[in-house]
Structure formats: structure tokens, C-alpha cells
């Protein structure tokens, strides 16, 4: 969790020790610099006295002495600074700064343990699926010092470029400094290449170590080092955080270099990271026409347009209002993590390529342009750049690949899978055994999903085809119909719409399988609420306004999610299933006539089934209508009828359900809702309390609850196979696009997962991860 937890440096110093330290090193300036750093850090991390208050003291001293840089302070200045710091501490805390090294140590250890629970660590864990229960260890280690003078320094470096993946040493260092100074971005660091001329010996040795570390870990390394009086020390190394584009390039390159296998390359790329590459990119033509108002470091790639906000807290508020935002900060700090996460892009005035903003943004896959020194803040919420004045709410665009900054919003175009991305996806497809389908309701979504590698559609939500203004009218007519005659009239209007929609989807999917789910409208989403809509509907249906209002109020449900939806509608009104069957089968017949080579086998899916008899009731309608139409067509055409498993009772009785169902698709949205008894629409309001109290760590609607809901899934698979050994099993709830849930689906023996088009590549990679991990475990 880089940067999420706390550290205390220079521990053990007090008024006595510092004297000895100064003598021992023959360097009083260094000794007092270390001491003042310790007081500052200990006060901040252990005692909750903000770092900033100490910075104010430093700035005042700089002003008084007429200097700009920390390095210009003399030993005497630093000695004086220590006095000021301790004075400030005494007045703020009403006690002396602790001078006993044992107390310093024990308090620091406690503080590091506490930091496991600071808000940014909690947020980071939720974002990255790291369980709270893991807890932390505390390392205590002796130090080497980069602040011993001009023959000392410290830096961070990556063996490859973490932004692009290019195989070239990449990093920054500062002479006469400690690590904090590099990350804080107060002094501008030098690039690692410059170390070659500053300290050739240390540089050569460093390059050598980098090669050895990569060779050992077989992955790009992120290293921290310190040079103490000309001698190089490595402080730490870890696999480096990188952007999605860099992850793909590094993985593919390492295979080409013979360092790793394709399997390892696949495992090196986090499926969730791909998300960043699947979103729109700037329209190249429009980008060329636009003139940048400024440019700075391309810290994390991506195309971001949004409205300017200036604080992380505002970012969260604006995002909740549905705004796309660009967070503009002097520099970011770990407290800003949530605000950064909800932003489209981040722009900072200070900080290098390894500053907090840059490192964290890359980890999140968020576009970031950092260190734009040309930004002049004119107030807390206004700035000028390139002669243009900007204020809160103004539109701004950032190109994280070039570092260019543009006024206004630049239009974007959809992403595509090419180059290293396409290579790695090809490898993933070689290893995965789970098929990946998509949830799509329109030909456009279906085409996008095929572009991203979908092998079929696992869920067409037919009610979603009626959300458009001109269509919802007919849908509403059907819903409020009092008689079968009225309903059939409305259904006749819906029939051609559905048939042509299905034809469009079959065209888009060509030979690939398509599962069409029958109407499952939670009534409250479709009933009119607007007075004008109600008046018009009454006219259309020749009803008195009062009478229609009465019907609408009778249709009001107290628990809409458990109300008159799914197959219950077809049980009450069989003509709905008749119409839908006609639409599906006729669309398939028309498409087969055009493209006989496609061998279309419609998969008809009945939702919200809890009892085999209700499934049979609806299935009988389907079979009657479908068989008649197929016979009339003279085609040799087949279809399947299956069900969703989304009610716990269906999972419990899956062996019975399978006597009628030719396939199961787990609707884990409803299955989660009904297993937990949490309303899908309302749980958001209280789940955050559950996270705070560590009752749950994850949203069960986003990540499958493998213990509870998962048990039902596994059981239903087993029972279903008992009755029908070759039953086809899939999942189409939101979990079908979530990597950890996909691993579960693989283990449970499902044949496919189905997810929204933009998650298809993520699912393909996650499915490969699951297959490779299983193989490795064996
Ligand atoms: C489900 O319940 O998981 C599902 C896919 O159906 P819907 O989300 O449409 O209720
Ligand atoms: Mg459902």
C-alpha cells in the first residue's frame, strides 16, 4: 500500500544524542537537520500535530534569513529551528517533546500499527480488495543518511518507465536530502540520468543492481536508494505500480526478452487495471485543432475532461452530484486519495514524476499531469495558466500522455484493443476455459462487446428496450391495461419494436449465441409520475384521468423489487409471453433466412423463477407459440428455454427447476438482494456503516459473497447437473465482470460469465488468471 501507512525517520535523537551524533559524524549541520526532521515527523505522525504548522515555522525562518532552500540553513540555523519546534510542541501539547528514545520508539511503533486504520489506508484497501484482517507488521531498521552533505543523496527509481513501460531506467534523486523531500516535491529533483555525471561510480553500481533485481524478481522494480558519503545503499525494492499501458508493455516485453512465460505475463496484469484503457480517448483530430494553455509532466496517461474543483472534499461532493471533475491542487497528499479516485483527471502545480499525485494516479489508472509550475493561484479557488483565468466549475481537459492542458472539453472517441493489449488478450484467450459473454440490450452495445471479444450475449434485458421516450408510452399502456383486450392492443404496438430490436441484435452478434430474457420490469421504474405523461396516457387509452390515476395508485408496490415483476407478469398475463415469443422467433426466422450459415438457436430465459410449476406454466406458452411459428416457417430451427437463478428458493430446488430449464443463468444481483435481504436500491444508504464497523469490507452487490450467495450458486450447479448432466451454466449479474467473482465462477464450473461490454476484456483476463492459478495450484 505505497504511501498509505506511516513511517518515522531519524528516531532516537534528543538534546544529548544529537551532540554525540554531531561529534561522531563531525557534521553538526547534518545532526541538527536530522533532529529537526525527527521532531517534525514524530509530532505529525505520533502526536497529531500537523506537519504544516512546522512548515510555517521553517518558512518564517527562511524569510528572516533571506534564503529559499532548506539546504541553505546552517548548523546554527537548524539548532535554532529545533528550539522553535520544541517550543511550538510545548505550547500545543502542554508538555515537553519526549526525549527518552525508548518512549519515542514505543510510541512510534504504536502509531505505525494505528496507521493500518487511517482513512486513506481503509479507502485504499477497499479499492484494491485487501482484507482488513491481514493487519500489518512494523519494521524497525537502522538508517543510512542522504542528508550528510553534497556527497550524499537519496532517490526513487523504476527499472522501466512506469507510465509507458519503456525499458529505460526512470527516476529522480536529490542530493543532500532525505526520502521525504523527493516525494514531497518541495525541491525539484534531478532525473536519474543526471546521477551519471554527479556520481559516476554510484550510478554504475546502481544500474548493475537494477539489472540484478529485475533478473531476480522477473518484473519491473520500484526502488528506493540512499547515497551516504558516496556509498550506495538500497533501501527497498518492490514490483512497481504502473499504468495499464505500461503493465501490458512490460508483460509482453518480458516474454519477448525470455524473462517470463506467457502465463506469468498474464498474471502480471491486474484485470481491473484494463478499465483505464477501455474508456474513450481524445478524438485525435479535435486534439490537433485544440491549442494547449499549458503543459507539464505526463505523470499518468489518459484523456480527461471535466469541471475544475480545488479540494478533494469538493471532488467527492461534485462527483455525487454526477459531475465529471478535474482536481486541481498545488500538490496532493495522502489525505486526498478519495477525491483523486473520483476525479477524471488530476493536475498539480508542484511535484515530479514520482510525487504523490503521480504515483497514486498511476496506481489508480487516473489521468494526471503534474508539476505545472506555470499555474499561478490567484485565490484558493482561481488560477491563471497560459493567460487564461480559471475558476471552480470551468471545463478543463488533460492529456496524461503528453502532459498538455487545454481549456474547455475536448471530444473523445471509443477505445480499441491494439498492440500489446491485443497480444496479451490473445494469450489470455489461449489459457482461459470460461467463455465470456456480454449483457447488451442494443445492437450498438452488442457490436461494442464483440469488438472487445464477447463470445455471445448472456443477457438481453428486454424491458430496457423500452426506456426511450417514444417507446415507454406503449410499455406504460401495457402496464396500466385493465383488460386483456387493452393489453393485447398495447402489446401489438410493442411487437414490431421488439422484433426489429432482436433482428438488430442477431445481426450484430452474427453466429454467436444470444440469451433473451423476458420482461422483468420493476413496475416503479416504468409507471408514469409526471402529470403531463399521465394526462397524455389517459387520452391515448381513452380513460378518465381520475380512473388512470386510480390504476396507477393501485399498482403502487411497497417492495417493488419483490413485487409484480419477472415471470409473475407472464403468469398473470400470458399474452405478454406470447408476444415476446413471437418477436424472438420471428426475428430469428428472418435473420436465418438472410444468413442461413449462422445457425441461430434462440435462448429464451424466464426471469425470477422460484417454483418449477411457474416456470413450466410460462415455458408451455413459449413452446406453443414457438413451435407453431417454426412449423409454419418450414425451417429446421431449434431454440432453448432456460431460467435465471435469482431467488434463493430456485437455488435450493435447482434439481426440480432443471427438469424444465435447459440452462441456468445466475442473476446474482437479485440473488444477493434476496439472500442478504438487502434492497438493491436502498442498501447503499447503510452499507457504509457496515464498512466503517468492519462488519462487511466489500459491497456484496459488486463482489460476490462467496460464503453465502456463493454457497447457493455451488449448490444449484450441483443439483442442476444431477437432473440434467449437460445443463449450460452461466452468470449474468454484475458479478460477471468482477475479477474475484469470476475466479469463483471458474471454480464453480460455470461455462460462461456475462458482463457489460466495457468489462468484457477484464473478464477475459480474469478468466485466464483463474485457469492459470488453478493449474499452478495443481
Ligand atoms: C440479476 O438479478 O442478477 C439480473 C441479472 O437481473 P436484473 O439485474 O435485471 O434484475
Ligand atoms: Mg434479476
What's the burial of 219, exposed, middle or buried (CB within 10 Å: 0-12/13-18/19+)?
buried
Closest listed ligand to the CA of 753: 1
Residue owning the nearest CA to atom 10 of ligand 1: 670
Tens of pLDDT along 48-61?
Answer: 998 889 999 999 99
Residue 1 CB partners (closer than 8 Å, separation 6+): 121, 124, 125, 128, 130
Pocket test for ligand 1, best of 438, 439, 461, 467 (most atoms within 8 A of CB): 461
Buried b / exposed e across 642-654, counting CB within 10 Å, b at 16+?
bbbbbbbebbebb
> Can you read off the three cell numbers belonging to residue 626?
414457438
Residues forming beta bridges with residue 298, ordered by sequence position: 369
Alpha-carbon distance of 52 to 40, in angstroms, equals 9
Residue 148 CB partners (closer than 8 Å, separation 6+): 25, 27, 30, 176, 228, 229
404-407 and 395-399 beta bridge pairing: antiparallel
Low-confidence ranges of the chain (pLDDT < 50): none
Contact 12, 104 (CB under 8 A): yes
Whole-number pLDDT of residue 565: 92
Please identify which residue in the block is written with the cell numbers 421488439.
498
**Which member of 210, 341, 356, 368 is catalytic?**
356
Closest listed ligand to the CA of 669: 1
Buried b / exposed e across 505-530, counting CB within 10 Å, b at 16+?
bbbbbeebbbbbbbbbbbbeebbbee
Residues forming beta bridges with residue 389, ordered by sequence position: 384
Contact 427, 265 (CB under 8 A): yes
Strands (DSSP E) along 240-302, which ranges? Answer: 281-282, 294-295, 297-300
Residue 399, CA distances (Å) to 13, 305, 330, 441 in order: 46, 9, 18, 32
Whole-number pLDDT of residue 186: 65
Contact 296, 405 (CB under 8 A): yes
Residues forming beta bridges with residue 642, ordered by sequence position: 605
Whole-number pLDDT of residue 253: 98
Contact 503, 594 (CB under 8 A): no
Whole-number pLDDT of residue 185: 60
Residue 154 CB partners (closer than 8 Å, separation 6+): 146, 147, 173, 174, 177, 178, 179, 181, 182, 224, 225, 226, 227
Active site residue 356: yes
State the DSSP string of 135-184. Answer: -----------S-SSTT-EEEEEESS-TTT--SS-EEEEEES--HHHHHH
Ligand 2: centre distance to CA 462 (Å): 12
Pocket test for ligand 1, best of 651, 670, 756 (most atoms within 8 A of CB): 670
325-329 and 303-309 beta bridge pairing: parallel
Residue owning the nearest CA to atom 6 of ligand 1: 667
Whole-number pLDDT of residue 332: 84
Contact 347, 330 (CB under 8 A): no
Separation of first and last alpha carbons in the chain: 30
Residue owning the nearest CA to atom 9 of ligand 1: 461
Ligand 1: centre distance to CA 772 (Å): 29
Strands lying side by side in the sheet with 367-370: 294-295, 404-407, 395-399, 303-309, 325-329, 345-348, 367-370, 297-300
Pocket test for ligand 1, best of 516, 644, 647, 667 (most atoms within 8 A of CB): 667
| Single pTM value for the model | 0.84
Amino acid at each position: 500500500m505505497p504511501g498509505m501507512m506511516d513511517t518515522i525517520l531519524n528516531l532516537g535523537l534528543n538534546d544529548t544524542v544529537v551532540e554525540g551524533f554531531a561529534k561522531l559524524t563531525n557534521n553538526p549541520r547534518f545532526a541538527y537537520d536530522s533532529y529537526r526532521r525527527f521532531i517534525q515527523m514524530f509530532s505529525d505522525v505520533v502526536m497529531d500535530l500537523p506537519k504544516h504548522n512546522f512548515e510555517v515555522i521553517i518558512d518564517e525562518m527562511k524569510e528572516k534569513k533571506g534564503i529559499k532552500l532548506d539546504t541553505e540553513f546552517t548548523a546554527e540555523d537548524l539548532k535554532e529551528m529545533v528550539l522553535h519546534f520544541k517550543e511550538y510542541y510545548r505550547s500545543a501539547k502542554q508538555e515537553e517533546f519526549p526525549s527518552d528514545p525508548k518512549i519515542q520508539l514505543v510510541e512510534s511503533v504504536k502509531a505505525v500499527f494505528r496507521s493500518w486504520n487511517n482513512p486513506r489506508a481503509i479507502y485504499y484497501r477497499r479499492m484494491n480488495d485487501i482484507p482488513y484482517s491481514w493487519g500489518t507488521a512494523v519494521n524497525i531498521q537502522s538508517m543510512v543518511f542522504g542528508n550528510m552533505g553534497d556527497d550524499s543523496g537519496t532517490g526513487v527509481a523504476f527499472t522501466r518507465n512506469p507510465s509507458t513501460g519503456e525499458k529505460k531506467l526512470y527516476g529522480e534523486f536529490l542530493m543532500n536530502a532525505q526520502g521525504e523531500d523527493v516525494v514531497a516535491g518541495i525541491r525539484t529533483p534531478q532525473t536519474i540520468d543526471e546521477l551519471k555525471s554527479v556520481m559516476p561510480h554510484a550510478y554504475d553500481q546502481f544500474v548493475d543492481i537494477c539489472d540484478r533485481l529485475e533478473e531476480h524478481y522477473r518484473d519491473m522494480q520500484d526502488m528506493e536508494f540512499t547515497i551516504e558519503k558516496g556509498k550506495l545503499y538500497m533501501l527497498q525494492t518492490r514490483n512497481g505500480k504502473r499504468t495499464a499501458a505500461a503493465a501490458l508493455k512490460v508483460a509482453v516485453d518480458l516474454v519477448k526478452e525470455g524473462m517470463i512465460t506467457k502465463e506469468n505475463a498474464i498474471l502480471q496484469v491486474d484485470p481491473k487495471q484494463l478499465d483505464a484503457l477501455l474508456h474513450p480517448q481524445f478524438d485525435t483530430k479535435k486534439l490537433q485543432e485544440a491549442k494547449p494553455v499549458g503543459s507539464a509532466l505526463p505523470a499518468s496517461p489518459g484523456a480527461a475532461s471535466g469541471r475544475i474543483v480545488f479540494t478533494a472534499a469538493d471532488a467527492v461532493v461534485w462527483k455525487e452530484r454526477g459531475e465529471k471533475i478535474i482536481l486541481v491542487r498545488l500538490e496532493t497528499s495522502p489525505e486526498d486519495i478519495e477525491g483523486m479516485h473520483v476525479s477524471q483527471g488530476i493536475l498539480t502545480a508542484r511535484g515530479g514524476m514520482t510525487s504523490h499525485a503521480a504515483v497514486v494516479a498511476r496506481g489508480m489508472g487516473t489521468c494526471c499531469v503534474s508539476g505545472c509550475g506555470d499555474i499561478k493561484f490567484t485565490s484558493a479557488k482561481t488560477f491563471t495558466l497560459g493567460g487564461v483565468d480559471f475558476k471552480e466549475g470551468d471545463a478543463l481537459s488533460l492529456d496524461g500522455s503528453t502532459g498538455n492542458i487545454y481549456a474547455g472539453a475536448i471530444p473523445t472517441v471509443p477505445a480499441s484493443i491494439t498492440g500489446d493489449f491485443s497480444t496479451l488478450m490473445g494469450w489470455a484467450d489461449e489459457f482461459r476455459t470460461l467463455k465470456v459473454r456480454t449483457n447488451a440490450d442494443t445492437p450498438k452495445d452488442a457490436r461494442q462487446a464483440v469488438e472487445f471479444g464477447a463470445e455471445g450475449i448472456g443477457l438481453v434485458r428486454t424491458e430496457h428496450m423500452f426506456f426511450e421516450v417514444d417507446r415507454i408510452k406503449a410499455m406504460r399502456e401495457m402496464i396500466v391495461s385493465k383488460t386483456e383486450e387493452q393489453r393485447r392492443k398495447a402489446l401489438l404496438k410493442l411487437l414490431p419494436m421488439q422484433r426489429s430490436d432482436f433482428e438488430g441484435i442477431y445481426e450484430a452478434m452474427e453466429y454467436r449465441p444470444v440469451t433473451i430474457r423476458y420482461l422483468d420490469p420493476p413496475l416503479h421504474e416504468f409507471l408514469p409520475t409526471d402529470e403531463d405523461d399521465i394526462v397524455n396516457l389517459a387520452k391515448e387509452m381513452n380513460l378518465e384521468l381520475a380512473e388512470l390515476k386510480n390504476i396507477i395508485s393501485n399498482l403502487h408496490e411497497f417492495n417493488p423489487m419483490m413485487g409484480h415483476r419477472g415471470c409473475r407478469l407472464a403468469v398473470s398475463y400470458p399474452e405478454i409471453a406470447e408476444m415476446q415469443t413471437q418477436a424472438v422467433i420471428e426475428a430469428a426466422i428472418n435473420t436465418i433466412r438472410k444468413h442461413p450459415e449462422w445457425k441461430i438457436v434462440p435462448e429464451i430465459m424466464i426471469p425470477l423463477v422460484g417454483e418449477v410449476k411457474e416456470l413450466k406454466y410460462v415455458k408451455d406458452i413459449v413452446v406453443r407459440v414457438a413451435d407453431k411459428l417454426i412449423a409454419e416457417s418450414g425451417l429446421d430451427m431449434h431454440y432453448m428455454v432456460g431460467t435465471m437463478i435469482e431467488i434463493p428458493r430456485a437455488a435450493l430446488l435447482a434439481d426440480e427447476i432443471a427438469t424444465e430449464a435447459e440452462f441456468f443463468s445466475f442473476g446474482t444481483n437479485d440473488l444477493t438482494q434476496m439472500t442478504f435481504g438487502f434492497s438493491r436500491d436502498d442498501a447503499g444508504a447503510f452499507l457504509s456503516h457496515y464498512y466503517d464497523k468492519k462488519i462487511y469490507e466489500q459491497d456484496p452487490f459488486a463482489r460476490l459473497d462467496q460464503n453465502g450467495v456463493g454457497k447457493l450458486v455451488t449448490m444449484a450447479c450441483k443439483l442442476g447437473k444431477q437432473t440434467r448432466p449437460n445443463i449450460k451454466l452461466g452468470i449474468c449479474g454484475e458479478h460477471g465482470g468482477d475479477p474475484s467473482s469470476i475466479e469463483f465462477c471458474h471454480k464453480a464450473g460455470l461455462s460462461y460469465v456475462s458482463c457489460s461490454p466495457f468489462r468484457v476484456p477484464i473478464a477475459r483476463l480474469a478468466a485466464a488468471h483463474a485457469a492459470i492459478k488453478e493449474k499452478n495450484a495443481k
